[in-house]
Amino acid sequence: MKDKKLTLEIEKGVDEKNSRVGVSVNVDVSDAEGSTLSGSVLLVEKCNSYEILHKEVSQIKDQLDLLLEKSRRLFEAEVGEEEGQGVNEDMSVNEIWDVLSMIKDPEVLLVKFNSMSRLKRLEVADYVLSHCNVFSGPASIFSMRYNIEEGILE
């Protein structure tokens, strides 16, 4: 993985009292044809005090911690799937729903459901929406997050 370099962006004030500081990251963006653009993106708007900068950086750290926790749960779910707790598209729709409905984390449910083929997603959705209690439990979460036009959970 390429190192992500964070940079302190310093904007000096006229009389040294109006200085502002932000944080940027260098990025490379490639298109489908292999062309690459390089530049930097401001992660933290330029702030006029250390306290504000500290607060903004802390919020980003908190969000990164949440993303790490979410990804940990997703990876743990994949390990569980490797141990035989996963969804196999050869299973019947009610068997698939039995497995999916045991997933406690809605984000993991979303990933598992959306990773199935479109046809199987439509079959499972039809089963859940017509045979399960969509007013409570996992079917309720499913019914609230199901996008009928796209055939995915959002």
Residue range 35-45, pLDDT digits in tens: 888 888 898 99
pLDDT of res. 79:
53
Of the pLDDT bands very low, low, confident and very high (cuts 50, 70, 90), residue 87 is: confident
Q: Position 154: which residue type?
A: E
For residues 100-125, average pLDDT = 88
pLDDT of res. 82:
41
CB under 8 Å to 29, separation ≥6 — which residues? 36, 37, 38, 39
pLDDT of res. 102:
84
| β-pairing verdict for 36-47 and 152-153 | unpaired
Using alpha carbons only, give the angle 15, 18, 19 rounded to the nearest 5 degrees: 100
Least confident of 103-107, 119-123, 150-154: 103-107
- How many other C-beta atoms lie within 10 A of the C-beta of residue 151? 18
Q: What is the overall mean pLDDT for the chain?
A: 84
Global pTM reads: 0.50
Residue 56 near residue 41, CB atoms below 8 Å:
no
Of the pLDDT bands very low, low, confident and very high (cuts 50, 70, 90), residue 93 is: very high
pLDDT of res. 83:
42
DSSP tag of 132: S
Least confident of 7-11, 32-36, 47-51, 74-78: 74-78
Length of the chain: 154
On the question of pLDDT at 84 being above 60, the answer is no
